[in-house]
């Protein structure tokens, strides 16, 4: 009975995500525009803000690269129809591709054939978490290619520790330069293992920009990396200025004594995400956007 | 940071007036072309085959747009720039052979393109990455599409544009390259971090 609700909500989330930035991201861009001193940098932030307004007003994707569709699912262990979620999300993706429309972005790596509907093997990608309760929380993150292409994993020497981590992040940001469409948001994760660090770094991009890390030590480190990144002078679109990043979000897992994996996942200024909660009685609450 | 409103066909003389950091707004014909279109155009040239349209004085846009067809008409939905570095391989020959005068994209281009622009008389302009709606709003009409067999993003979309911009001149016809200059500054800043 819930599959239709899930499909409808997922479709709406994709549409919200690609047409309307979450308020925390929009506010961060406005703040950057106020503070940016480079004249060329300001032209870029102004164009971004105008573009964001137009996309919201006309309900058009804010960027033509509507990304690969990724879902984060927090499913209550007592949620009915757990087995129907995957199909409902695929159907929603197909519908969204046709109706919004989205750019078809799912290509077979060997044959180069584009499926035309943004679904394919493992795509949309689903990140599952089973939680207590009987509800379902859905988040969609359409992830663009430009920023994904510069995302990196480093297996640094554990003896380098936090200093090595900072150096790796800054070097990655400089190597990326203009490519990820700055101002960027950085998801940085340490520990776990190669795959775990990358996954955590990407999920860190879901955290609201204006929310401080709950661990004061990590909050301080986030701020420190943020200041370093913004001292590089890369600036909006790589044209120079002090706004290179809007935020840095740190995450970690405990690590193997011999390993120090550091993952840096880049997010362009078009930080598209949207979340909703579906209750057991079918009631829907949108969490990231105001829905009238 | 002077502001220029250019109308296609754009002459070499107009191009030589521009320097980096200037802002331009384009009026007239803007043609999308990505990797595959650049490659095919240069193949045509080698074989002595004519392109489906004369690109002299026109503006080229590194862009794979979202376009939809309503009845018989193409409507441009969203059209932000793609990463220009991928076209570095072709651009110097492209402007030399076809005399397109303005190349618009994002992220900058390298030394070979910069040298080519100096010789031929062309500029590279940066349009804000991701600002796809802003770009699409300046498109008044999709005039024509060629090479649709390359796929929607790779085809040559001939767009009629009005005040398409702001486009920041990032490589001028005198060898100045804003992205490379900024990258040098960044490397200098890195030493003090």
Same domain, A102 and A76: yes
pLDDT at A186 exceeding the cut of 70: yes
**A101 closest CB neighbour out of B68, B130, B186:** B68
Q: Find tokens 């948001």 and name the residue.
A: A185
Q: How confident is the model at residue A291 (pLDDT cuts 50, 70, 90)?
A: confident
A62-121 pLDDT per residue, tens = 999 999 999 999 999 999 889 999 999 999 999 999 999 999 999 999 998 899 999 999
- Which of A61, A115, A148, A178 is the best residue to mutate to test the B interface, defined by the most B CB atoms within 10 Å of its own CB? A178
Q: Catalytic one among B6, B33, B38, B116?
A: B38
Query: Is A51 contained in some domain?
Result: no
Which whole-number Å values give the CA distances from A180 to A60, A153, A193, B21, B107, in the listed order? 21, 16, 25, 21, 9
Residue-level pLDDT at B153: 85
Query: Is A49 contained in some domain?
Result: no
Same domain, A152 and A231: yes
Residue-level pLDDT at A219: 98
**B182 closest CB neighbour out of A50, A51, A238:** A238
In sequence order, the β-bridge partners of residue B27 are B7
Quick check: B70 contacting A, CB < 8 Å? no
Q: What is the largest CA-CA distance in chain A?
A: 55
Residue-level pLDDT at B193: 83
Based on the structure, what is the number of domains in chain B?
1
Please give the average per-residue pLDDT across A163-179, as a whole number.
Answer: 97
8 Å CB contact of A232 and B190:
yes
The separation between CA A196 and the C-alpha centre of its own chain, rounded to angstroms, equals 16
ipTM field? 0.91
Same domain, A201 and A239: yes
CB neighbour list of residue A95: distance below 8 Å, 6 or more residues apart: A7, A11
Based on the structure, what is the number of domains in chain A?
2
A227-277 pLDDT per residue, tens = 999 999 999 999 999 999 999 999 999 999 999 999 999 999 999 999 999
Phi/psi of residue A22, nearest 5 degrees: -60, 150
The tokens for A234 are 């890369």
CA B144, CA B160: separation in Å to the nearest integer? 9
Same domain, A163 and A114: no
CA proximity to A103, closest of B130, B172, B39: B130
CA proximity to B168, closest of B72, B81, B90, B70: B81
- Which of A97, A175, A237 is the best residue to mutate to test the B interface, defined by the most B CB atoms within 10 Å of its own CB? A237
Segments in chain B below pLDDT 70: none
Query: Is A14 contained in some domain?
Result: yes
Query: Is A44 contained in some domain?
Result: no
Query: Is A48 contained in some domain?
Result: no
Residue-level pLDDT at B66: 86
Query: Is A26 contained in some domain?
Result: no
CA A26, CA A45: separation in Å to the nearest integer? 11
CA A152, CA A76: separation in Å to the nearest integer? 33
Question: Strands A136-143 and A152-155: what pairing?
Answer: unpaired
The CATH number of residue B62's host domain is: 3.20.130.10
**B133 closest CB neighbour out of A44, A58, A231:** A58
**Residue B45 is a catalytic residue:** no
Query: Between residues A292 and B7, which one has the greater pLDDT?
Result: B7
Same domain, A135 and A256: no
**Mean of per-residue pLDDT scores for chain A:** 96
Residues of chain B with C-beta less than 8 angstroms from the C-beta of A40? 1, 21, 168, 178
Query: Is A28 contained in some domain?
Result: no
As a three-state string, the secondary structure of chain A is CCHHHHHHHHHHHHHHHHHCCCHHHHHHHHHHHHHCCCHHHHHHHHHHHHHHHHHHHHCCCCCCCCCEEEEEEEEECCCCCHHHHHHHHHHHHHHHHHHCCCCCCCECCCCCCECCCCCECCECEEEEEEECCCCEEEEEEEECHHHHCCCEEEECCHHHHHHHHHHHHHHHHHHHCCCCCCCEEEEEEECCCHHHHHHHHHHHCCCCCCCCCCCHHHHHHHHHHHHHHHCCCCCHHHCCCCCCEEEEEEEECCCCCCCCEEEEEEECCCCCCEEEEECCCCCEEECCCCCC
Same domain, A241 and A118: no
Q: How confident is the model at residue A1 (pLDDT cuts 50, 70, 90)?
A: low
For residues B125-139, one letter each, b for 16 or more C-beta atoms within 10 angstroms of the residue's C-beta and e for the rest, the string is bbbbbbbbbbbbbbb
| Angle subtended by helix axes A161-176 and B178-192, to nearest 10 | 170
CA A9, CA A137: separation in Å to the nearest integer? 10
Q: Which of residues 173-192 of B touch A (CB under 8 A)?
A: 178-179, 182-183, 185-187, 189-190, 192
Which whole-number Å values give the CA distances from B43 to A66, B96, B170, in the listed order? 31, 14, 28
Q: Determine the structural domain holding residue A118 and report its residue range.
A: 3-20+62-144+272-286
Q: Determine the structural domain holding residue B53 and report its residue range.
A: 3-192
Same domain, A137 and A174: no
pLDDT at A292 exceeding the cut of 90: no
Q: Find tokens 């992220």 and name the residue.
A: B107
């Amino acid at each position: 009975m819930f599959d239709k609700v899930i499909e409808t909500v997922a479709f709406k989330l994709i549409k919200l995500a690609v047409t309307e930035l979450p308020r925390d991201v929009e506010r961060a861009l406005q703040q950057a525009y106020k503070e940016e001193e480079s004249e060329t940098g300001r032209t870029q932030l102004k164009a971004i803000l105008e573009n964001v307004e137009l996309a919201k007003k006309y309900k058009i994707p804010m960027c033509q690269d509507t990304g690969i569709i990724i879902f984060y699912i927090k499913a209550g262990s007592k949620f009915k129809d757990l087995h129907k979620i995957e199909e409902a999300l695929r159907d929603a993706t197909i519908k969204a591709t046709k109706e919004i429309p989205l750019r078809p972005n799912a290509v077979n790596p060997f044959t180069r054939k584009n499926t035309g509907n943004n679904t394919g093997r493992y795509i949309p990608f689903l990140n599952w978490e089973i939680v207590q309760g009987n509800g379902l929380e859905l988040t969609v993150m359409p992830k663009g290619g430009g920023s994904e292409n510069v995302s990196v994993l480093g297996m640094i020497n554990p003896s380098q520790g936090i200093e090595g981590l900072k150096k790796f992040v800054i070097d990655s940001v400089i190597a990326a330069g203009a490519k990820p469409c700055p101002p960027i948001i950085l998801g940085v994760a340490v520990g776990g293992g190669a795959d775990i660090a990358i996954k955590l770094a990407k999920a860190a991009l879901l955290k609201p920009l204006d929310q401080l890390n709950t661990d004061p030590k990590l909050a301080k480190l986030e701020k420190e990396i943020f200041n370093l990144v913004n001292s590089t002078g890369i600036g909006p679109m790589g044209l120079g200025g002090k706004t290179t990043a809007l935020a840095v979000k740190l995450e970690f897992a405990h690590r193997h004594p011999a390993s120090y994996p550091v993952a840096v996942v880049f997010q362009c200024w078009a930080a598209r995400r949207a979340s909703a909660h579906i209750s057991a009685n079918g009631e829907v609450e949108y969490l990231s956007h105001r829905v009238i | 940071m002077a502001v220029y409103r250019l109308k296609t066909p754009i002459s070499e003389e107009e191009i030589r007036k521009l320097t980096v950091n200037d802002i331009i707004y384009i009026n007239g014909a803007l043609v999308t072309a990505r990797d595959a279109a650049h490659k095919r155009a240069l193949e045509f040239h080698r074989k002595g085959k004519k392109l489906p349209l004369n690109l002299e004085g026109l503006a080229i846009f590194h862009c794979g747009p979202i376009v939809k067809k309503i009845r018989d008409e193409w409507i441009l939905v969203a059209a932000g720039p793609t990463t220009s570095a991928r076209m570095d391989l072709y651009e110097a020959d492209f402007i030399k052979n076809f005399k397109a005068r303005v190349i618009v994209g994002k992220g900058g281009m390298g030394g070979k393109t910069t040298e080519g622009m100096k010789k031929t008389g062309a500029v590279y302009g940066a349009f804000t990455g991701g600002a796809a709606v802003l770009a699409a709003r300046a498109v008044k009409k999709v005039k024509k599409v060629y090479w649709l067999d390359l796929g929607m993003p790779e085809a040559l979309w001939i767009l009629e544009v009005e005040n398409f911009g702001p486009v920041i001149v990032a490589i001028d016809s005198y060898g100045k390259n804003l992205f490379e200059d900024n990258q040098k500054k960044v490397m200098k800043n890195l030493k003090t971090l």
